[in-house]
Structure 1
Amino acid sequence: MKQLISIIVLFLIVTTSFAQKDTLQDQAIVYKFDIKREIGSTSWIYAQFAFEEANKVNADVILLHLNTYGGQVVFADSIRTKILNSKIPVHVFIDNNAASAGALISIACDSIYMRPGANIGAATVVNQSGEKMPDKYQSYMRSTIRATAEAHGKDTIINGTDTAYVWKRDPHIAEAMVDESIYIEGIIDTGKILTFTTLEAIENGFCEGKAESINEVIEKLGYREYQIITYKPTFYDGLKGFLTNPILHGILILVIIGGLYFELQSPGIGFPLLASAIAAILYFAPLYIDGLAANWEIILFVIGIVLIALEIFVIPGFGIAGISGIILVFTGLTLSLVDNVVFDFSNVPTNELFMSLIIVSAGTFLAFIVAIPLSQKLFTSGPLAKVALLISQDMDLGYIGVDTEPKHLIGAVGLAQTTLRPSGKVLINDETYDAVAEIGMVDKGEKIKVIRYASGQLYVVKNR
């Protein structure tokens, strides 16, 4: 009897364990991260870390909680590409706004859910002042958002014996969010940029449904038992995002070039060179940690600086060393911004390479535009005017680094203390001086006469 009871208890324990294990396995892992700010370098850094962590925890789904008016297209495109290439399904909950770059990111997701009253669209490329950018930028954005919509493919619709294939996200409608010249009957007239409300987005295939909260979205995705893991950015994540901002890169390049220029204008001051060194560290450090800046790219930059210094301080004129130095500095700064393997750019998107060239070129150009007039102002009438030596030190005004007393001995007579061949010692008025025989050699003990004084030296002849 006791044995039977023991067997029953053991059976119940094992059954309970398997039941608990199955329950845990049935619980889905939803990995959530937020984009609730202007899309930029920080958003891109957050997205990279979030996707990496989602893969580590074997998440079943990634849920993007989005509310943004847009941002920089280059980073939105990077996030879009990350979403399209993700092995884990990515869904988005638009909490209020998905404008411009936010619309591009949303369309990349596997499904879109929107809060009532939210909107999606208005993806025209604009500058910092809100003015529309030239058509070459719009063309790139039109192509990108169209390709993003096409990436979701077509749905098969069977109506009796007829079969139709309909885009899940209509690329033409997506393009209308960028181009005001597009006309789609019943949706948008020419001269207007398309923006959908929640209901309009649902009607036109750009939203899977309404939702009031994250939990409601998860339930609409079909998950009943789930665990939400939320990405929480660290201080380092935010700092890295700040330091990899293209605008900051341009400013750092300006400080690097400008600091070197200031130091060359007045060698020895120190702090322009220090500012340049700090800017170089802030420029390369996050890129090196992120794996973009390789050792050889940083070495190219350093060699370039050395060559420029040699050209200025050692080699007269401006030739091969100076030109080579400029090329190496520019190359090191540019290649550090892209994920190339030595000179293999096959995996580097064209827009990223183009952007890095623009950043370095703009920073260098602004450095010279700002540094040249600023240095003239600072070193002539500004606070550094007393630091830099801007006047000549005339000997007649007493500016000389040697004793000028022997100058008054011109015309004086004395004796050669040593043989002058042609230099030696002479005795004048019981004082010993260094002297040079102007003509021939003067023997020891002969009478001499001082005829001139130059460069801290007495010149004498035999006094007959």
Structure 2
Amino acid sequence: MSPFGTATRSPGGCAVSSGRRRCFLRSLSLLLLLAVTWGAGGSLADDPGPVIVATIASSINPVTADFLSSVIERAEKETATLLVVELDTPGGLDTAMRQMVQEIIRTPVPVAVYVSPSGARAASAGVLITLAADIAAMAPGTNIGAAHPVGMGGGGMDNTMAKKVENDAAAYARSLAEKKGRNGEWAEMAVRESASLTETDAKKKNVIDLIAPSLSALLTAVDGRVIEKNGKTITLRTKDASVTRIPMGLRHRVLSALADPNIAYILMMIGIYGIFFELSNPGAVFPGVVGGIALILGFYSLQTLSASYAGFLLIALALILFILEIKIASHGALTIGGIISLVLGSLMLFRSSVDPYLRISWGVILAMVGISAAFFGTVVTLAVRSQLRKPETGPEGLIGETGEAMGDFTGKGKVFVVGELWDAECPFPLRKGDKVTVVQRKEMTLVVKPQEMSR
């Protein structure tokens, strides 16, 4: 210490103090950086994933099942908070429905099935898809139910088989409903008795979880909801999540359109016409190519629908009869048989006992049968007229023609007919310039008679 009590600074004192300050500042900066990094990391970790929305407004078939599978795959890649399936379906194939249900149950992404918009329905297979969802919601003015199974394919089921199918579907529906804590008794009734409910009754009977007038209202309503998914508890955070809609691609839209029974029927008719024109005009190529493609597409459509084998065989028989008509002179009998076969096959192709969406509309049937009847009827009429018409060329074409005697003769002489000079025979006397009518041809000689005798 100095006499005045001030601290004695060592030669290195200043360096020691500066080093401490620098160490303090570096430590403070590091703490601030860690705090900012932790806060940002925490906010990123808490940021919810997107809400994926897909719309299925068609029958349940292999195309819609493949579309849902692709949407679920994308939702998994994007770690979506929720997948919303906007559903409006009259029902469809059991195999496609079960594939969709399995995908909904398997995926780790929570799935909400939202029956919308107003006026939509979840009927038949749509009921089970809704019951399988983690969240089942409906818009106002919608309905759900009528899940009784129907026979698919050629012909109906006998009583034993129908009962087996019904029991299987009822047990499956009850199982799906009870797995999600919903009304298993009503689910079974929907299968056995084709029971249906409005959205209000469905909410009261614990068939669905909530009623939402819009997608945004649905996302607000489920925000914070806790669900069980594959043994894990998930809290939904959908209020501030971004919404991504995934529309059907061109491939799925085209294939889905082909699953319409009216489209399938029209394609088959185009195929029949194409094959007919190709066989009636060999080498035209274009009708055959178009007809072949249309038939193949028609066959693809039939495999997704409730097509009757008897109806298909009758339409095939109509095609055979139309083809034979151009090969055999039946004077229209084969065409009439083909039209009758076509009408019966059209009526039987999709059985009337199944859902209306699996049947051909009467308008399409009448239009196609009418066009077919008019076309082939015209062809037959023209063919009959051509056979009844007096020949205009060849040996028979001279019969009935008028000419002029070139000189006086009885028996044999010369006549001028259709611009040509012919040898002629006439049992009656003729004078030069007399008008004659041809009644027969004997090789290069015409048999004639005076024209006044022909009146």
Native 8 Å contact 1:119 1:198 kept in 2: yes
1:238 aligns with 2:263: no
Alignment root-mean-square deviation, CA: 4.6
How far, CA to CA, are the matches of 1:377 and 1:121 in structure 2?
Answer: 44
Aligned length: 304
Distance 1:393 1:177, change over 3 A: farther
> Which stretches in structure 1 are left out of the alignment for 5+ residues?
128-132, 155-166, 181-192, 284-332, 338-351, 399-451, 454-464
Q: What is the CA-CA distance between 1:32 and the residue it aligns to?
A: 2.0
Are 2:50 and 2:79, in contact at CA under 8 Å, matched by a contact in 1? yes
d(CA) in 2 for partners of 1:47, 1:15: 43
Q: Corresponding residue for 2:355?
A: none
**Identity of aligned pairs, percent?**
21
Structure with a larger share of its residues in helix? 2
Partner of 1:144: 169
For the Cα contact (< 8 Å) 1:100–1:124, is it kept in 2?
no
Q: How does 1:311-390 map to 2 (within 5 A)?
A: 358=307, 362-363=311-312, 365-369=314-318, 372=322, 373=335, 378=375, 381-382=378-379
Matched, 1:104 2:128: yes
> 1:113 touches 1:208 (CA, 8 Å); kept in 2?
yes
Distance 2:309 2:27 in 1: 76
Which runs of 5 or more structure 2 residues have no equivalent in the other structure?
1-20, 152-156, 226-234, 323-334, 340-371, 398-442, 445-455
Q: 1:20 aligns with which of 35, 40, 65?
A: 40
**1:274 aligns to 2:262 (yes or no):** no
Partner of residue 176, structure 1: 189
1:105 is displaced (CA, Å) by 1.9
Cα offsets for 1:266-294 (capped at 9, x unmatched) = 434444313214425756xxxxxxxxxxx
Q: Distance in 2 between matches of 1:209 and 1:171?
A: 17
Q: Equivalences for 1:2-17 in 2 at 5 Å? A: 2=22, 4-17=24-37
Shift of 1:108: 1.9
Helix, strand or coil at the partner of 1:17: helix
CA distance in 2: counterparts of 1:76 and 1:266, whole angstroms? 46
SS of equivalent residue, structure 1 residue 232: coil
1:64-463 matched pairs, under 5 angstroms: 64-66=85-87, 68=88, 70-74=90-94, 75-95=96-116, 96=118, 97-101=120-124, 102-115=126-139, 118-124=142-148, 140=165, 143-151=168-176, 153=178, 168-180=181-193, 193-198=194-199, 200-212=201-213, 213-221=217-225, 222-224=235-237, 226-245=241-260, 248-279=263-294, 358=307, 362-363=311-312, 365-369=314-318, 372=322, 373=335, 378=375, 381-382=378-379, 396=395
Deviations 1:377-436 (A, max 9, x none): 7467339958xx9899996458xxxxxxxxxxxxxxxxxxxxxxxxxxxxxxxxxxxxxx
**1:333-365 CA-partner distances (Å, limit 9, x unpaired):** 6xx78xxxxxxxxxxxxxx97x57947775454
Rounded to whole Å, the distance in 2 between the matches of 1:376 and 1:250 is: 16
Q: What is the CA distance between 1:14 and its match in structure 2?
A: 4.2
2: distance between equivalents of 1:152 and 1:255?
45
Shift of 1:106: 0.8
Tell me, yes or no, if structure 1 residue 32 matches structure 2 residue 47: no
Query: Structure 1 247/199 Cα, relative in aligned 2: closer, same or farther at 3 Å?
Result: closer
The answer on whether the counterparts of 2:137 and 2:211 sit within 8 Å (CA) in structure 1 is yes
Q: Distance in 1 between matches of 2:102 and 2:382?
A: 53
Tell me, in whole angstroms, the C-alpha distance in 2 between the residues paired with 1:8 and 1:55: 42
Equivalent AA in structure 2 for residue 366 of structure 1: I
Structure 1 residue 204 displacement after superposition: 3.4
- 1:120 is paired with a residue whose SS is strand
Task: Show CA shifts across 1:178-237 (max 9, x none).
Answer: 333xxxxxxxxxxxx533344543443322334442222431534235333322333443
* Paired residues of 2:173 and 2:188 also in contact (CA < 8 A): no
Residue matched to 2:84: 63
Tell me how far apart the structure 1 counterparts of residues 51 and 22 of structure 2 sit (CA, whole Å): 47
Q: TM-score, normalised by structure 1?
A: 0.51
Give me the whole-angstrom Cα distance separating, in 1, the residues matched to 2:218 and 2:392: 77
Larger-Rg structure: 2
Mapped to 1, the partners of 2:269 and 2:77 lie a distance apart of 40
| Distance in 1 (alpha carbons) for counterparts of 2:387 and 2:293 | 28
The match for 2:358 is none
Letter of the 1:273 partner, please give it: G
- Report the Cα distance in structure 1 between the residues aligned to 2:312 and 2:69, rounded to whole angstroms: 27
Give a deviation string over 1:302-331, Cα, whole Å, max 9, x none. Answer: xxxxxxxxxxxxxxxxxxxxxxxxxxxxxx
